[in-house]
Amino acid sequence: MKRPGIVITAVLVMALVLIGITGCLGQAEQTEQQLIPVKRGDLTVAVDSNGYIEISHDANLSFGVSGRIEKIFVKENDAVKQGQTLAKLDTGALELAVSQAEASLVQARLTSASYEYELSVTKDKKAKLELALLNAQINLRTAQYNLDKAKDVYRWPEVEKAQADLDKAQTFLQYALDGLAAASTPAQVEMWTRTVANAQANYAAAEAKLKAQLAGYDTEEVAIKKMQVEAAEKSVADALRNLDKLNEEIALRELQVQAGKGSVKLAEQSLAEAQRNLAHAVITAPFDGVISRVRAEEGDTITPTMPIFHLVDLSQMELNVELDEIDIAEVMPGQEAVITLDALPKKEFKGTVTAIYPLPNVVGGVVMYKVKINFTNPADSGIRAGMSASADIIVSRKSNILLVPSRAIDEDAEGKSWVKVMASGRIETREVVTGLSDEFQTEIVSGLSEGDTVVIEVRTRPAPGGAFRR
């Protein structure tokens, strides 16, 4: 929305820009108007803070085993490369331990292989014994079959009748026994008792008759067939016993194989441990850097916990700063930071926010949060740990946006933003929507166009001698 402004001529406007407005000598203050064109540009908003430079990557290096230092290859302030050997221990005993572990591993593997071979041989025997058992079982069934055939040759009707009589006697005896068991009166008990006695006598007579008749056909051939059956039964029993023993032997062999594999694994672990100890007898640089401290000398006897070197990586540094609770809300990991050092005021270094610590420090009632900024330290930059520095953390950045001086913008009681614009020789008030601001310049989102001219009123006061100054 536009508002009516004060009408002035173009000539008067130019005069105001060039020489300002001069009033009577008795006036205490005058107003000067500045005309600023609306232009496109880039705007960056940053949060600044101070801190001290620290090393971001360092390490205390030590041997992994105890021993006597044989050689130290570097001294303090030496630059080293990753993988470079820095020192070594006397490795005679460690090399001997490796050789012994290698020999033990070879022996364990031979023993394990022997156990596996013996297990294989034993399992092969099992197949043979199973075949022998099968043959014995076939022989037994054959012998039994031949015996049955021999008996059938000599079986006659009387034997069959005697067998039938015995079966009937047995059935009646069981009937009498069941009756006696069910008797409930003395008379019944007496009757069934007599019946059972008669049935038992009949059964014994029938059984004796059958046995006598059966004994009559036990000829020489039947006797031989019986002996063959007995021999076959013994062969089956022997085969079963042999197979059971072999299964026990196989179980023992399998335990030996497992023990052999365990011995091999233990020997491998012992060799690996000996090799690790030998490897730990040498200190190598884990990364490129500078030896800042050497804490031992050749000939010293050391332990694994004793630090020998302090290695620092000077190519990567960090700046730790603190921000208050208002500024910290705009900062997040990954944002760019521009770092300047008091000792190197003409140089700037680009860094990156890598960490924002979650817990604050309260200093004098002010809540401060620690922020870590990492940056690359160029060779021969002159940066040293402990130097004071400041960082501008870029929290927002826009390009090719409409910009006006922040002092050209007024805000009313409703929170709306206004600017004065020179249009067709007139000054009019125009509502605008603002965006990003760095307190010196402000983005105009809407309400102005590129090429518009905003008016800024600056109050001045007369200087001694009649001249005016702001």
Domain definitions of the chain by residue range: 1-38+409-470, 47-57+314-397, 58-90+281-311, 97-265
pLDDT confidence of residue 390: 95
Task: Output the CATH code of domain 97-265.
Answer: 1.10.287
Closest by alpha carbon to 292, among 269, 312, 271?
Answer: 312
Question: What CATH class has 47-57+314-397?
Answer: mainly beta
Outline where 216-311 has alpha helix (H).
220-279
**Count of CB atoms within 10 A of residue 240's CB?**
14
Q: Which two tokens stand for residue 161?
A: 């009748």
The set of residues, in sequence order, having a beta carbon less than 8 Å from that of 418 and lying 6+ positions away, is 409, 410, 411, 412, 429, 430, 431, 432
Task: Please tell us whether the domain made up of 58-90+281-311 is placed in CATH 2.40.50.100.
Answer: yes
Which band of pLDDT confidence, cut at 50, 70 and 90, is reported for residue 25?
Answer: very low
Return the SS3 of 146: helix
Q: How many helices (H) and strands (E) does the chain have?
A: 5, 23
User: Strands 388-405, 39-55: parallel, antiparallel or unpaired by DSSP?
Assistant: antiparallel
CATH number for the domain running over 1-38+409-470: 2.40.420
Tracing tokens 């990492």 back to the chain, one arrives at: 374
Write down how long the chain is.
470
CA 205 distance to own-chain centroid:
90
Query: In the predicted model, what is the mean pLDDT of the chain?
Result: 86
Higher-confidence position of 155 and 325: 325
Q: Which DSSP letter does residue 217 get?
A: T
CA distance linking residue 274 with residue 266, whole number of Å: 12
Mean pLDDT, range 378-402, rounded to an integer? 91
Q: What pLDDT, in 10s, does the model give residues 178-208?
A: 888 888 888 888 898 999 899 999 999 988 8
Predicted local confidence at residue 464, as pLDDT: 56
Q: Taken in order 88, 92, 98, 101, is the CA torsion positive or negative?
A: negative
pLDDT tens per residue, range 305-326? 899 999 999 999 999 999 998 8
Radius of gyration of the chain (CA): 56
Amino acid identity of 10? A
Cα 121 to Cα 5, 110, 242, 255: the distances in Å are 115, 17, 16, 15
| E-strand stretches of 295-450 | 301-302, 309-312, 316-324, 336-341, 344-356, 361-363, 366-376, 388-405, 410-411, 417-423, 426-437, 441-446
